[in-house]
Structure 1
């Protein structure tokens, strides 16, 4: 029996109540269960059975103890109680008669805080288990964005004037920053920019209303720099270049005041990356980022800065300089590490370098060097990191086309189109559209015609 016809479904007069809709949007299912019993006459035992939750846990949730945060469980509850998907941050459920376009204004299934994240006109054709899995991945990403990341993001504690901050509070702020940074692996800037900016502004307010030693102040400024970099990256990813520039410069000033050379260099590297993504040359800024950081920063930081310098050289068409920068990045990452370095650079490793090599050689129209690097690095790259994988596949598609492998390039860009669906980032869309323009002269070939048709 479908959830829509289920005997325990919440009656329409219950779902229509504003207080019920409010707790649903907050994923406060304990209150939902209490209201279901009070106004719908549904016992906790029936709720437990239908939602596949132990009866004692239903009771605890109803008393305000604990929370439901997993995508799978929230989906199960929505279907068991016939709760429309838009009320809990899900796509319309299969049993819902109303399509998303028919929803009232303000009740769209997946609100976005930034530009439209899909590649223009992109749709998927075909069926089967693979398409189902891809649909699930898209819905999971949208669910995370629409639900406000419940259970991950908390409000910074208010500080009374004169409150004292020490190393423990700094450690807590760094832990929050680390957790939030991981969201960028699976969500785009359009979904996360407001979260990172809120965390940055809250940390600055915390510093303003508290007291601390000079040493603690420098540590706090380093946290501010990290947060400003992450907020700037999200703004850049969402397509707001002016805000990104402002935040990167803010990050640079905070790092300089803190005396944190690694973060100073990284702030400049972010600016260089942004510059080369437009019509400006970022070579000078990228070189300055390496000089600013110096040779004493941790290997992962050196590797990251030289990688971004290599990218700036590649975009400028400077093959010799590109190869030299890549060699310096490889040297930094291949030696033994005396210490792991900052958490914000911990993702820089051998595979990241291999991807950057492939991107650089693709940009320099050296497909024989680009294709092996990208193919190897992407062989087991997780589809959950959809934005990054779609972007990397776009460079692989360019490399295949430069090598004359037109059909293979069409196949690769088709995969990038699939992955980019539902990603809150303007960058995959931009790169896909650029590549489709290159592919258009080959539209007489069936694989090309197919992917162009899919792209609308």
Structure 2
């Protein structure tokens, strides 16, 4: 690294200026650019050149027209204007840890440099978290509020469904602790629309279907955040809305979510609900939906220790995926062979079959991106579990350590819950250096 300072670097006193600081935290770059020009005499042409933005676009933004919500562009602006990462919801930027020539790097700089490979994942996760918290939600357009007497057109449910699909992408990089309020807000907004708006029967059914989908999304986030009572309530509300909408696929999925939540507390009830979820969706459901529900049924059987029924359910899921029935798959059921493979690996781990679990899990995880930090840490926990069952203690310790690294800072209770019993088992082998290291990492 060098000590190069771009011509657009904001002076320290301007970064501490109350108005500028508020604009930065809010990602309000119209105000940031205006203040940079007015108070630091940094021209729009310089900002455009250093931030790789067209000059006319900078002027448009400075007039308050439009927003910048792209992670890559915000990261570029942070570097060009020398805005510390934490003000934008980003991890520290490279230049923040740079040192002058001839000086040894500090301990924190050395740590940053050795973890640079994973820093982009952290940066993106922090950006998405900041965007969701600021209400930006990836630049989604705001919907016009529905007044009590307003007629809701037939196109509104589809607009809401597309919006819900885009919001679902937040779950790829954030935990439920970060997304729950966003998803819950969408659910309540649609409930208000149903209660206060005016619409045809067909549109009303479509709105109820969207409401069911949003309730499942919010329920999943609540479950991920450890809010189990909220999750159950939302899943039940989802099932009711889907039933009223005559959307059997969504009704079955609501039951599958309930089964997944209940399986640890009451395995018999969990299996019964999972079986009901498959029958509710029925043979006419899209192939991807049936595969998803049979996969969750397999998990219910595996958690109960029933290997034969687990295999039957996995076979049913695979058969469904092989079908090309031409029915469009709903976005919420975007399940493919990868989803089935990871579910199979989890099931065989739960059934203490490491010879079947390890190859499946390792193959999947070898190309699963670290951006999906929560899910990858969870899947790694099942791999570590299987290695423990196989007596490969040091390999289990190494994988557990990687899972701990990925789950750090993720707003989800599930990774640590999954890793807790594994760490407990590893304590019996704490004389091994690899195990001692991961136990120390867990304590830290």
Q: What TM-score does the superposition give when structure 2 sets the normalisation length?
A: 0.89
2:395 maps to which of 408, 424, 427: 408
- Write 1 or 2 for the structure with the bigger share of helix: 2
How many residue pairs are counted as aligned between the two chains?
A: 428
1:24 matched to which residue of 2?
A: 24
1:145 aligns to 2:129 (yes or no):
yes
2:256 matched to which residue of 1?
A: 269
1:453 matched to which residue of 2?
A: 440
* Superposed CA offset, 1:207-259 (max 9, x none): 22221111111111000000000000001011111111111011011011111
SS of match in other structure, 1:239? coil
RMSD: 2.4
1:443 maps to which of 407, 414, 430: 430
Whether the aligned pair in 1 keeps the contact of 2:267 and 2:303 (CA below 8 Å) is no
Deviation at 1:186, TM superposition (A): 1.6
Whether the aligned pair in 1 keeps the contact of 2:6 and 2:50 (CA below 8 Å) is no
2:286 matched to which residue of 1?
A: 298
1:222 matched to which residue of 2?
A: 209
1:185 maps to which of 172, 175, 182: 172
Q: Counterparts in 2 of 1:5-404, with a 5 A limit? A: 8-93=8-93, 131-148=115-132, 149-278=136-265, 281=268, 282-346=270-334, 348-404=335-391
Deviation at 1:145, TM superposition (A): 0.3
Whether the aligned pair in 1 keeps the contact of 2:69 and 2:139 (CA below 8 Å) is no
Q: Greater relative contact order: 1 or 2 (C-alpha under 8 angstroms, separation 6 or more)?
A: 1
SS of match in other structure, 2:169? helix
* Superposed CA offset, 1:401-449 (max 9, x none): 1011112212222221222122221111211222111111112222222
Whether the aligned pair in 2 keeps the contact of 1:138 and 1:421 (CA below 8 Å) is no
2:102 matched to which residue of 1?
A: none
Whether the aligned pair in 2 keeps the contact of 1:134 and 1:418 (CA below 8 Å) is no
Deviates more, 1:364-373 or 1:46-55: 46-55
* Superposed CA offset, 1:125-178 (max 9, x none): 986977202122112201210122554344331123322223311111111011
* Superposed CA offset, 1:240-282 (max 9, x none): 1111111101101101111111111110100010112446551
Deviation at 1:198, TM superposition (A): 0.8
Deviation at 1:76, TM superposition (A): 3.0
Name the CA distance, whole Å, in 2 between partners of 1:393 and 1:11: 45
Q: Indicate how the Cα distance of structure 1 residues 41 and 382 shifts in structure 2: closer, same or farther if over 3 A, else same.
A: same
Name the CA distance, whole Å, in 2 between partners of 1:374 and 1:129: 30
Name the CA distance, whole Å, in 2 between partners of 1:445 and 1:78: 44
SS of match in other structure, 2:155? helix
**Structure 2: unaligned runs, 5 residues or longer:** 98-107
Deviates more, 1:226-235 or 1:9-18: 9-18
